[in-house]
Chains A and B, each alone.
Chain A
């Protein structure tokens, strides 16, 4: 299964490599969607995890025990299909090719699994159909 988490940390917790722990101890395949570290050493990371359900749950428990704040989220990008008219202006500005035309219907779709939340699409959309919720 694949789950997405927001992992927040204070200065003191940033001593270990989160992704290394998830890979080596829980056999998870992490994909860092976005990471921000503030000047005071605190920060947050958006991560997508692929692996067995039990391993994901245990991995997240481990991070919590180390002092990280862990929140699961569904989608960090929303796509309002009532506003979107599938023009496609956002498609070629997406660096991870997460926004694409369905080649059958030509409807614009977003793969939230690979979206890194960069926001490049936001200014390209003329009907404000895309929003980042992070």
Chain B
């Protein structure tokens, strides 16, 4: 007998509260669906947890330092010699992950400040202001920690890319890119998605993920706050998932809940700094269609290889699935190319398993989105005009 499963958020949350919810990671559920079929699996499973842990450049943190006595309206702000934005109210700022430390220092940036804050380290705050009638002070030089500032929350305009390209280098010299070190003559290729564990590849059309979805963000609870920048829905799909960078999410979460284990300030040779973040999204198994999409495996998810030695016009050269990419070598025109991942599969699995534990223990309830993400999104280029 085929039962047309239809669960609600309320029913699933009721089970989570009672510690009776059945939770699988997106990796574990692949075999379950193969073995039991999608209907049975949809009946049995309440939540599938996903995860990813890789570089997400469009990330940063809003901070409020609190007022000193006398107070200052900060317009130039350095945190461990990394510039933070000085165009908000007196002691509010935003520090971006890719902001590099002031020269001559190198190898440190906003991402490292964020990691150090969450790790409980003291951060050197040096700030200047114009000195006004209401904020008489002109500079301050002190040390802050996460505990003694008022608010600290990550607000990341573009995270958890739904799939991404594979990078290689056909030129005669090594190039250093945000996709890592690419050896000459296609001696290696790098990829960055967590594939079958990746959040947006398990709910490719955002049927369950929406604005307000509660997530795992670097060891704390966070939320999907908006569609991410460069959100697009126009990429070709194979097996129901796009073959290249497609949807993205803007994420928000309280840094005071986070664990530095799931954050890494990165210094990517030849590129600059970035922040690696562990992010996990729970997918409620509302019906068998949702279940079917969560059952996607690395063999069914494809990504396109492009030549990063070209400054422009990078057309796809070949298409590989994530099982091939993860095997360590792919073939291109008879030549073997070694592959490297830029995001941590071990980390992605840790995130998905930790989120699963939280739900198993009744500590993490699902939040029904308050607004759907856009069904369509097109990418615009930047026009160069004289006026």
Contact = CB atoms under 8 A, between A and B. Distances in A.
B188 interface: yes
Interface string B159-179: 000000000000000001000
Contact of A128 (B187, B267, B328): B267
Contacts of B107: 128
Contacts of A106: 344-346, 349
A51 interface: no
Interface string A110-134: 0000000000100110111000000
Interface stretch (A52-60, A61-69, A84-92): A84-92
Given A85-B276, A85-B347, A86-B344, 11 more contacts: A86-B345, A87-B342, A89-B181, A90-B340, A92-B188, A106-B345, A123-B181, A123-B269, A126-B269, A127-B265, A127-B267
A124 B180 contact: yes
A96 B105 CA distance: 33
Interface of A is mostly: loop
A59 B176 CA distance: 44
A72 B203 CA distance: 55
A124 B181 contact: yes
Contacts of A89: 180-181, 190, 340-342
Contacts of B189: 92
Most buried by B among A83, A87, A105, A124: A87
Nearest to A100: B328
A101 B188 CA distance: 16
B158 interface: no
A124 B269 contact: yes
Contacts of B183: 92-93
A76 B267 CA distance: 23
A92 B53 CA distance: 19
A126 B268 contact: yes
Contacts of B267: 126-128
B171 to A, nearest CB: 16
A88 B188 contact: no
A85 B275 CA distance: 12
Nearest to A83: B264
Contacts of B341: 87-89, 91, 101
A126 B266 contact: yes
Which bracket fits the contact residues of A?
A: 20 to 34
Contacts, number: 83
A21 interface: no
Nearest to A91: B340
B339 interface: yes
Nearest to A89: B180
B79 to A, nearest CB: 20
A93 B337 CA distance: 11
A93 B346 contact: no
A50 B344 CA distance: 34
CB-based closest 9 A-B pairs: A92-B340, A92-B188, A126-B266, A92-B338, A106-B346, A88-B341, A124-B181, A106-B345, A86-B346
Given A89-B181, A89-B340, A91-B340, A127 B264 contact: yes
Contacts of A123: 176, 181, 269
9 contacts: A85-B53, A87-B347, A88-B345, A91-B340, A123-B269, A124-B269, A127-B265, A128-B107, A128-B267
A108 B264 CA distance: 16
A93 B343 contact: no
Contacts of A35: none
A107 B346 contact: yes
A75 B189 CA distance: 29
A87 B344 contact: yes
B355 to A, nearest CB: 17
A93 B344 contact: no
A93 to B, nearest CB: 5
Contacts of A107: 346
B54 interface: yes
Contacts of A87: 53-54, 276, 341-344, 347
B123 to A, nearest CB: 19
B328 A91 contact: yes
Interface in B143-169: none
Interface string B22-62: 00000000000000000000000000000001110000000
A74 to B, nearest CB: 25
Nearest to B181: A124
B151 to A, nearest CB: 27
Contacts of A90: 340
